[in-house]
Structure 1
Amino acid sequence: MEKWRGRTALVTGASSGIGYAVAKRFVEYGMNVFGCSRNIQNIEELSRTVRCGPGSLNAIKCDVSNEDEVLAMFAKIREERGRLDVCVNNAGLSYGEPLLSGTTDKWREILNTNVIGLCICTREAVKLMRESGVDNGHIIQLNSLFGHTIAPRSTLHFYGASKYAVTALIEGFRRELRELKSGIRITG
């Protein structure tokens, strides 16, 4: 992690769980982290308590399913840091919406967050990395076991479908980066 010290990271869904833990650890390693979430109170509290060397944590209110908010978030990162080295796409959600009885609104919300939001954030992260000359950046897509196997419960089937999409997208992004002869890595 020493090579990332002083560099800039974005962690989506940073207000709880895995995103919160990743943002905290990155700051402890000395990274300048932008943590985003629809609710930023936990990120703001974390930013007041965790410090390490040059590391910092900035909370940004952003719903990744809203493209305007995502674009504003990347504009802020561009303005404040001028670059992005690591992007952790952790934001995601699930509702107990079976395929045969689920609601269309909940399905759309799942897709807009887990698939479309991830795509917008990845596109903008690569764009910022390339325009600022970061050719050794890293994009990490948090996925799920259900992106590789069918969930045993019907309440997780639609969520699993969104995560299967993430699995396919990771490979698609990887191939497009390879076509560009980019050193930016993508991990699922």
Structure 2
Amino acid sequence: MERYAGRVALVTGANSGIGAATARALLQKGLKVVGLDKRIDMIKAQELKDAPGTLYPLQGDVSSEESILCAFKWIKENLGGVDVLINSAGVCGESLPTTGQTAEWKRILDVNVLGLSICTREAVQSMLDRGVDDGFIIHICSISSHIMPFDPLISMYFASKHAVKTLLEGLRKDLVARNSKIRCGQISPGLVKTEIFNTLQKHSTEALENMRLPMMESEDMADAVIYMLSQPPRVQVCDIILRPTGDLFC
């Protein structure tokens, strides 16, 4: 991780959950961390007094291209550019394929797929423009990218994560074709106790806990991010699959 000390990391969805835990982990490794989220109240509270890194809370909406471009403009003008991108922003929804609302499908795809793709594009262009050849793009994906939906209510969420997995491999091959040493990978967790379930009914955190399903913590995902970043330049960890011990749910 020493190569990234003092460098700039952008973490989307940094107000809570995996994004917040990842931001804290990067601060402890000495990075300048831009925490991007629609709400930044909790981001400000995450600043660690004893951490060598510096936190920059930045308000932005990953579902809006204009908002994303404004965020990258601010980073370029104030910090120079992005060296590490952690695409952690994500949403889930319960919507049947036969009766679902288009607006709900669009909300999921705008954040999980299009917003992630726009952030990735802008981060890579920032790296290429500055001659950064050791940058890193990490998607916080899901075990859902590897399996089929276990419930039709969350089919669109599963579809969005399969798209992320496919886009990651496309990105890797694009970078190889450019003779770039920029690396990319994804973290694919099973159930993690985060706020992403708060808007759901059948699959809410409370419902999952009542089913006594084992769940991991956000810090476990942050540790996986640090592991991926810590590998020597000759090693590209493309995917880390994590499941809670005793998991039979997915």
TM-score, normalised with respect to structure 2: 0.73
Amino acid corresponding to residue 63 of structure 2 in structure 1: S
Structure label with greater radius of gyration: 2
**Would you identify which runs of 4 or more consecutive aligned residues in structure 1 move more than 3 Å?**
none
Aligned-pair Cα RMSD in Å: 1.0
Q: Is 1:126–2:124 an aligned residue pair?
A: yes
Give, in whole Å, the separation in 1 of the partners of 2:112 and 2:10.
Answer: 16
Q: What's 1:52 paired with?
A: 51
Structure whose residues are more often helix by fraction: 1
Whole-angstrom distance in 1 between the partners of 2:81 and 2:106: 32
The equivalent of 2:2 in structure 1 is 2
Could you say what secondary structure the match of 1:46 adopts? coil
> Offset of 1:153 from its aligned partner?
1.3
The answer to whether the 8 Å contact 1:27/1:51 transfers is: no
Shift of 1:178: 0.8
Letter in 1 for 2:42: N
Does the aligned pair in 1 maintain the 2:15–2:39 contact within 8 Å?
A: yes
Q: Secondary structure at the match of 1:64?
A: coil
Partner in structure 2 of residue 115 of structure 1: 113
Distance 1:130 1:99, change over 3 A: same
TM-score, reference length from structure 1: 0.96
2:72–2:81 contact (8 Å) kept in structure 1: no
Q: CA–CA distance in 1 between the matches of 2:185 and 2:176? A: 13
Q: CA shift at 1:8, angstroms?
A: 0.7
Aligned partners of 2:102 and 2:6: how far apart in 1?
A: 44
Structure 1 residues 183 and 11: alpha-carbon distance in aligned structure 2, compared to 1, 3 A threshold: same
Distance 1:138 1:82 in 2: 16
CA distance in 2, matches of 1:120, 1:178: 20
Q: Which runs of 5+ in 1 are unaligned?
A: none
Give the secondary-structure state (helix, strand or coil) at the position aligned to 1:151.
Answer: coil
CA-to-aligned-CA distance 1:64-84 (integer Å, 9 cap, x gap):
110011000001110111122
Q: What's the secondary structure of 1:36's corresponding residue?
A: strand
**What are the equivalent positions in structure 2 for 1:14-93 lying under 5 Å apart?**
14-47=14-47, 49-53=48-52, 55-93=53-91
Q: Could you say what secondary structure the match of 2:111 adopts?
A: helix
Q: Structure 2 CA distance, aligned partners of 1:100 and 1:164?
A: 20
> Quick one: percent identity of the two aligned structures?
41
8 Å CA contact retained: 1:11, 1:89: yes
Structure 1: distance between partners of 2:149 and 2:20: 26
SS in 2 for 1:187: strand
How far off is 1:111 after superposition?
Answer: 0.5
Of the candidates 150, 153, 175, which is equivalent to residue 151 of structure 2? 153
